[in-house]
Structure 1
């Protein structure tokens, strides 16, 4: 596990926020940072598109992690910059399932929900057991 503080991970994610506007859309306005069980940190940003081909910031950070041949996430956060405050935001349902599918051990990933608040992925995605085919 890691000793990466929530605040440090939030700050790391916030450092890659660089919103970009194109044709009435904004992308790069949500960023994510994760730390693996080996202690390595990966970041990513969201890409919003009008036709649904985009992806969340968590997906981007996880892709960087998998590119480096790592699969187990110790802690993850997504952030969005409000007018005066950097906010930790919970992962959407698609991201929760994506984290789980990268490695089943990620059910124990600590998801940062605020500077002083976390939850295990298993508690945010409680029904994960599917029938095993014969």
Structure 2
């Protein structure tokens, strides 16, 4: 369901999504993500892609932004791909969210398809965490 908070998260992600070449070995901004914290604050991040795998996904970038600002609980995650579609986070981002919220990761809402209002929980997306 697309409520006002999802709309604000989508808008915030679109505002920072701006694919650009930084150097011959680095690009950024093709994917943007927003995270809604437990305090209802929206944090943004963009992907940073490098030739040597030292880059970072937009989701973890947004989560680092949240943690930098003193928060540690996630309610929602929204990602916008370069084709303006949404989707599930990669395994590394899911694992980061698991470890961040070990006792309550299952309830994190993930926007899978903004256009159709499809939302799943991280628990539905990844039901069996290795720990």
- TM-score grouping bracket, smaller chain normalisation: 0.7 to 0.9
Contact kept? 2:26, 2:48, Cα under 8 Å: no
Distance 2:89 2:14 in 1: 16
Contact kept? 1:74, 1:106, Cα under 8 Å: no
Aligned to 2:46: 45
CA-CA distance at 1:61 after TM superposition = 0.4
Contact kept? 2:45, 2:58, Cα under 8 Å: yes
CA-CA distance at 1:5 after TM superposition = 3.6
Aligned to 1:63: 64
Moved over 6 A (4+): none
Q: Which runs of no fewer than 5 residues in structure 2 stay unpaired?
A: none
TM-score of the pair, normalised by structure 2:
0.86
Contact kept? 1:96, 1:124, Cα under 8 Å: no
Aligned to 2:75: 74
Aligned to 2:20: 20
Distance 2:4 2:56 in 1: 25
Contact kept? 2:34, 2:79, Cα under 8 Å: yes
Contact kept? 2:13, 2:44, Cα under 8 Å: yes
**1:111 is the counterpart of 2:110:** yes
- Indicate the SS of the match to 2:128: coil
Aligned to 1:123: 124
TM-score of the pair, normalised by structure 1:
0.84
- Indicate the SS of the match to 1:75: strand
What value does the CA root-mean-square deviation take over the aligned residues? Answer: 1.7
Measured at CA, do residues 128 and 109 of structure 1 come closer, stay the same or move farther in structure 2, by a change above 3 Å? same
Distance 1:11 1:88 in 2: 13
